[in-house]
């Protein structure tokens, strides 16, 4: 898929003046939210979310693009057939492999952030997916580095990443405005420190395993 069809060029132009995170990371964050939430009907809802995440607010054109993409993604992931056509926002193969790997890494980190703020419970299988995704998000590569496995490894990781939201978008949707990040925690909610003092453990972060190992049973 080339950069015009994927939306890469449009996103690059529209978010050129907004540099809080990369467009790939923002697209991943949006997708993580849309696997669980209904697409907000108001642009102001995206302003609220970005503010709660300590981001600056992009201009109206950028917010409109984000809102429209979120609506399209939400509908796409709700349909079993359409969901398999989902693609993360990364540059096409005309770009250097380094640039594509970095964009995929950024998308993975954005997705984990977006899904994380939905406060969703994960099954054992979903935890395994996130463990692999965390490894991709932790890839370290410099511009002059040779990516281990080259194009073949990148394509494998891309396909894995592409299918993560498809696998997770099976739960009932809820309003993004109802998320604890935005709505606030109930007065009775306990902090992680309070839970620890009571001998209880907060939700654990899934262990990081080697997502690049094709023989991994997950």
User: CB within 8 A of 186, min separation 6: which ones?
Assistant: none
The per-residue pLDDT for 3 is 65
User: Which DSSP helix (H) or strand (E) runs through 112?
Assistant: helix 97-116
The per-residue pLDDT for 120 is 92
Q: What is the mean pLDDT of each run of 10 residues along the chain (218 residues)?
A: 78 96 98 96 94 95 97 92 92 93 97 95 93 95 82 94 94 93 62 48 36 34
- The DSSP bridge partners found for residue 37 are 174
The per-residue pLDDT for 194 is 47
The per-residue pLDDT for 2 is 74
Q: In the chain, what are the domain boundaries? A: 3-197
Q: Is the dihedral of CA 49, 51, 55, 60 positive or negative?
A: positive
CATH topology classification for 3-197: 1.20.120
Average model confidence (pLDDT) across the chain: 85
pLDDT for 170-179, tens place per residue?
A: 989 999 999 9
pLDDT for 180-209, tens place per residue?
A: 988 874 434 444 444 445 554 334 333 332
């Amino acid at each position: 898929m080339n950069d015009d069809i994927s939306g890469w060029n449009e996103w690059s132009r529209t978010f050129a003046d907004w540099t809080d995170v990369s467009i790939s990371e923002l697209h991943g964050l949006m997708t993580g939210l849309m696997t669980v939430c209904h697409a907000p009907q108001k642009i102001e809802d995206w302003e609220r979310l970005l503010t709660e995440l300590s981001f600056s607010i992009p201009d109206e054109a950028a917010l409109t693009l984000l809102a429209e993409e979120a609506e399209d993604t939400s509908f796409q992931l709700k349909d079993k057939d359409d969901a398999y056509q989902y693609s993360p926002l990364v540059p096409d193969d005309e770009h250097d492999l380094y640039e594509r790997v970095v964009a995929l890494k950024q998308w993975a980190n954005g997705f984990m952030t977006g899904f994380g703020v939905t406060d969703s419970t994960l099954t054992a299988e979903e935890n395994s997916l996130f463990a692999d995704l965390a490894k991709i998000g932790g890839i370290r590569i410099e511009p002059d580095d040779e990516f281990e496995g080259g194009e073949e490894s990148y394509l494998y990781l891309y396909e894995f990443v592409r299918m993560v939201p498809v696998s997770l978008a099976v739960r009932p949707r809820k309003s993004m405005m109802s998320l604890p990040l935005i709505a606030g925690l109930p007065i009775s909610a306990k902090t992680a420190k309070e839970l620890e003092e009571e001998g209880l453990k907060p939700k654990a972060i899934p262990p990081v395993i080697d997502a690049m190992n094709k023989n991994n049973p997950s």
